[in-house]
Amino acid sequence: MYMCAFNDTSKCEYQQGYWRFWYEADHRYAVPTTAFFTACILVFATGHFFNKFMSGSLSRSKTIRRMTALLRYGSYKAFRIPALNWNSAPLGVLALGAIGLIYFTCMTLIPQPYYWAHNMDGSWGSSPPLATRSGWLSLGCMPFVFLTAGKSNFITVVTGVSHEKLQVFHRWISYAFFVTALLHTFPFIVYNIQTGTMREQWNTSLFYWTGVIALVAQAWLTFASLSPIRAWSYEFFKFSHFLAALIFMLFLFFHCDYTLSAWDYFIVSGVLFSLSWFHRQTRVYFEHGIGKRATISLTANGFICVRVPTQASWVVGQHFFVRFLSLGIHAWSIHPFTACSLPQRASVFDRTDSELVFYIRPQGGFTARLARFAEAHPNGTMRVLLDGPYGGVDMRKLQQSRRQLIVAGGSGAGWIIPMLTAFLRKRELESMRQNVAEPSSARVVLATRDIATRQWFEKTLVELLASFNLESVPKDLDIELYYTGSAENLEAPKATGQFLQKLDEPEKAVGHEIVTTRSGSDSDSNSGSLRSQLAKHIDARPDLPALIRAEGAATTPNGQLGVFVCGPLSMQNDVSQAVAAEQLGILKDGSKDVYLHMEHFSWA
């Protein structure tokens, strides 16, 4: 119950001002914050619904194509700092971040006052207005931090944006959560120092020390999530992240102490987290089961090949989280890997076993341990748990793209395989039809500095073509292999590739190192003519912007070009900038459609 302590009506009215009234602060700041994030989600959900159910004739209209091109420009245009090997988020995502920054800045700093006048005698209350509003703004962020963190989440369901792309919003909302928590803390320190009650409050008030512990845990959650720490030790990051989150939520719960509607936000956060967690566990234990055994081996270029028989269904570019149960402490961690195969069955009603294949580049830590296991136990088996699939290529866009440009770099070679499989299946279906207006075609560009990876890819390509009863690459499929390594390695390549030499114990790879000549490569052994039929070999770095401009220029009016890329940050930047430039041309005439899908090497 609120009772004004002043005998002055004007003072009571001032204290109860819309932006100042403590007893309605949750409705003035936390509820609008919830509404702000919800409105953003609804905007994208509406666009996703419209795009999903829009008729084909409407989607091909010039007006819709111009609008689509404008939105795609915001989605593809980014900025790069080469010296730091850093790519910014796309322009559209940055704009959303700027809108969020404006919202929190205005809601925090525009309402007045920051501190109560004459606060030395405590007549206006012991909670400074700046601390009150920033605290509720912070609490309003909490459900959305959890909502954007889960692999299974409602945002993905209603917007179609997969969980890995939501990670940038998870981090940014967490920054707002932390900064507003700091702005909630500091005014109390200033106030109590001014009134000389700081020591007394720390010794007697539950709010103070629970708030400090929560803030310390929140600081760790925020700064220990930066990419250098995640890259240094992903397992340590995951363990410490969950432990700090538990401590933070526990002490923040005590700190809020059922103040106004504070616990409502804990209930919502708990429900969202629980639903996401239970859905994932249901998929792991009931959809995939606990009896899966993976066959693990090393490929000729040093990739770890993991093959899991399964009846699961997935599409191009989707990834699974895999837990390997025989790797000691690493069995407690779960890692995402992109599926490098497609299921065999044609429908969900066919229960034929498929083979889920992952190609993993060993680097250090967990992957190095897995590579040593594969080396010590050729074609050994290990029990695994699967969680997925998640993400992936928009299959409607893949089917609608009559011309496809598939670009990959380095270990992205494995990602190309399901793309090619999907194209060859699509080609088979088109051959059964008659009067296809524009048959599908594809151009594959693989850039690698490792000869062994190129040789492995050619061998895998031969096996893939054979599975479709093809003796050579069909004329509507162009494959270009770019070698970007040193001339010395080109003349005498190491058959094991570059990756095995990066393990924790490099000497393990020495015994398997085979030096060959160019004439003794796998592709040459098949004969020079077969090699020329497989792919075009170029000893240079691909000019990706020029390739995309050429493909865009060759796209017929009303045609659709799909660009799909998986590679390092510099490659992603070159492709996204070039496709963004194509959108500017579409804005002028609306005559064609150019779509981009980027698969990141690392986003976790």
Residue 39: inside a domain: yes
pLDDT at 167 over 70: yes
Residue 215: inside a domain: no
Contacts for 61-69: CB closer than 8 Å, 24+ residues apart: 61/590, 62/589, 62/590, 62/591, 63/590, 65/586, 65/590, 65/591, 65/592, 65/593, 66/586, 66/587, 66/590, 68/586, 68/593, 69/583, 69/584, 69/586, 69/587, 69/590, 69/594
Other C-beta atoms closer than 10 Å to the C-beta of 395 total 12
Residue 88: inside a domain: yes
Reported confidence tier of residue 511, pLDDT bands at 50, 70, 90 = very low
Judgement on whether residues 384 and 422 belong to the same structural domain of the protein: no
Least confident of 22-31, 81-90, 434-443, 467-476: 434-443
Residue 246: inside a domain: no
Q: Say which residue the tokens 């969202």 belong to.
A: 272
Of 214, 241, 274, which marks where a domain is finished? 274
- 338/321 Cα distance (integer angstroms): 9
Task: Give the CATH number of the domain where residue 541 resides.
Answer: 3.40.50.80
Residue 214: inside a domain: no
How many structural domains does the chain have? Answer: 3
Other C-beta atoms closer than 10 Å to the C-beta of 336 total 19
User: What residues pair up with 14 in beta bridges, in sequence order?
Assistant: none
Of 391, 418, 443, which marks where a domain is finished? 391
What type of residue is 355? Answer: E
DSSP string for residues in 339-402: --S--S-SSTT----EEEEEEE---STHHHHHHHHHHHSTTEEEEEEEEEEEE---HHHHHH-S
At residue 499, the pLDDT reads: 45
Of 246, 274, 302, which marks where a domain is finished? 274
Range of the domain at 342: 289-391
Residue 273, CA distances (Å) to 134, 144, 238, 323, 452 in order: 24, 10, 16, 21, 44
Judgement on whether residues 127 and 148 belong to the same structural domain of the protein: yes
Judgement on whether residues 44 and 189 belong to the same structural domain of the protein: yes
Quick: pLDDT tens for 321-344. 999 988 877 778 888 999 999 998
Burial of 154 (0-12, 13-18, 19+ CB in 10 A): middle
pLDDT at 516 over 50: no
Quick: pLDDT tens for 202-254. 888 888 899 999 999 999 999 988 877 777 777 788 889 999 999 999 999 99
For 121, list phi and psi in degrees, rounded to 5.
-95, 0
Judgement on whether residues 298 and 197 belong to the same structural domain of the protein: no
What type of residue is 211? Answer: G
Residue 180, CA distances (Å) to 32, 186, 387 in order: 15, 10, 35
pLDDT at 493 over 80: no
Judgement on whether residues 542 and 425 belong to the same structural domain of the protein: yes
At residue 515, the pLDDT reads: 35
Mean pLDDT of 261-288: 93
pLDDT at 520 over 50: no
At residue 496, the pLDDT reads: 47
Judgement on whether residues 372 and 413 belong to the same structural domain of the protein: no
Least confident of 47-51, 86-90, 170-174, 488-492: 488-492
Judgement on whether residues 311 and 444 belong to the same structural domain of the protein: no
Q: Which tokens sit at 394?
A: 């928009």
Least confident of 78-82, 199-203, 249-253, 356-360: 199-203
Judgement on whether residues 108 and 176 belong to the same structural domain of the protein: yes
Judgement on whether residues 327 and 402 belong to the same structural domain of the protein: no
Helix, strand, or coil (residue 216): helix
At residue 351, the pLDDT reads: 60
Residue 14: inside a domain: no
Compute the mean pLDDT over every residue in the chain, rounded to the nearest whole number: 86
Q: What H or E segment, with its residue span, contains residue 93? A: helix 91-109
Judgement on whether residues 345 and 409 belong to the same structural domain of the protein: no
Q: How many helices (H) and strands (E) does the chain have?
A: 24, 14
Judgement on whether residues 400 and 367 belong to the same structural domain of the protein: no
Least confident of 28-37, 59-68, 286-295, 342-351: 342-351
Task: Give the CATH number of the domain where residue 351 resides.
Answer: 2.40.30.10
Residue 368: inside a domain: yes
Which pTM does this prediction carry? 0.88
For 65, list phi and psi in degrees, rounded to 5.
-65, -35
Mean pLDDT of 135-159: 94
pLDDT at 429 over 90: no
Reported confidence tier of residue 505, pLDDT bands at 50, 70, 90 = very low
Residue 41: inside a domain: yes
Judgement on whether residues 262 and 128 belong to the same structural domain of the protein: yes
Q: Which tokens sit at 484?
A: 């970007």
- 233/213 Cα distance (integer angstroms): 25
At residue 110, the pLDDT reads: 95
Quick: pLDDT tens for 93-126. 999 999 999 999 999 999 999 998 765 455 677 8
At residue 73, the pLDDT reads: 95
pLDDT at 589 over 90: no
At residue 514, the pLDDT reads: 33
